[in-house]
Structures are given as C-alpha cells and as structure tokens.
Amino acid sequence: MERWGTETVGVWDGAVLDGAGAAGDLVGAAFSVGVEWVVLPVARLGADFFALRTGVAGEIVQKCANYRLRLLVVGDISAHTAASGALRDFVREANRGRHVWFADTAADAVARLGGTPSRRPGGKAGAAAPGDD
C-alpha cells in the first residue's frame, strides 16, 4: 500500500489477469488492505482485456466498481487503441471520469493523483494479490 498524492493505492504486479476469477482475487486482496485505487501495470492485462467484445475489461471494471475501488491502468496501450476505435473511445471516456483511468507512465499516474508516491507507515509497496508470483 502506498500514498500517491492524497490517494491510497495498491500496485499489483504478477501474472496476467485472465478474467473474472482473477479479477475477483485481485479485488478481494485490494479490499482487504483498504486501498482506494487498484493500480495495474499493462503487463498484467492480457489481449482479451483490450478486445472489448470479450467482456474481460468490463468484468474487471465492474468488480472494482462493486467494491468502490478505482482502477488505474499504467503503461503504453497505444497499439491497442490504434487498432480499436471502441477501445480508444472507452479509454477517452474513462479518463474523463473519476473511477477508471489509463496513464502511459507511473509518473503520469502520480501526477494525475496529485502528488508523489510514498509508502504509508507499515505499508508495503507492490503488494501481490493471492496467487501472484
């Protein structure tokens, strides 16, 4: 758990999330440590996340929303948005809102959240969700 600006975030590295089951595990871990934002590196998201017709992105976003967690995807997705107008529109609309954001870099994410990253007392940066290596 870390503080980025005024927000409490959990950055989850690890294996690729492959759908609702993995999303449920991730959300459970995030909810249990009390973060406001779930930060996912793009490397955690498989190709199905970026193909909106599969519903994987919707499942992950909905799981976060159900538990009042906000989602921040960090990394370059320009190849995916160039290939899909629907994804490009989804990202643009998400970035206008307050619950799901996409940022090219961690620095962009921190700036968007209004500050610099720092560990919370007793917190652990980069906490892994259950089943992560």
Amino acid at 91: V
The CATH number covering residue 44 comes to 3.40.50
Is 5 domain-assigned? no
Q: Is residue 106 part of a domain?
A: yes
Query: Looking at the domain assignment, is residue 73 inside a domain?
Result: yes
pLDDT at 13: 78
Q: What is the pTM of this model?
A: 0.79
Residue 115 resides in a domain? yes
DSSP string, 14-65: SSPB-SHHHHHHHHHHHHHHT-SEEEEEGGGB-HHHHSGGGSHHHHHHHHHH
Q: Is residue 16 part of a domain?
A: yes
Parent domain of 18: 12-119
Any domain includes 128: no
The whole-angstrom separation of Cα 56 and Cα 70 is 16
From first to last of its 133 residues, the chain has per-residue pLDDT tens of 777 666 777 887 778 887 667 788 888 888 888 888 999 999 999 999 999 999 999 989 998 999 999 999 999 999 999 999 999 999 999 999 999 999 999 888 888 887 655 443 333 333 333 333 3
Position 42 in a domain: yes
pLDDT, residue 126, reads 39
Q: How many domains does the chain have?
A: 1
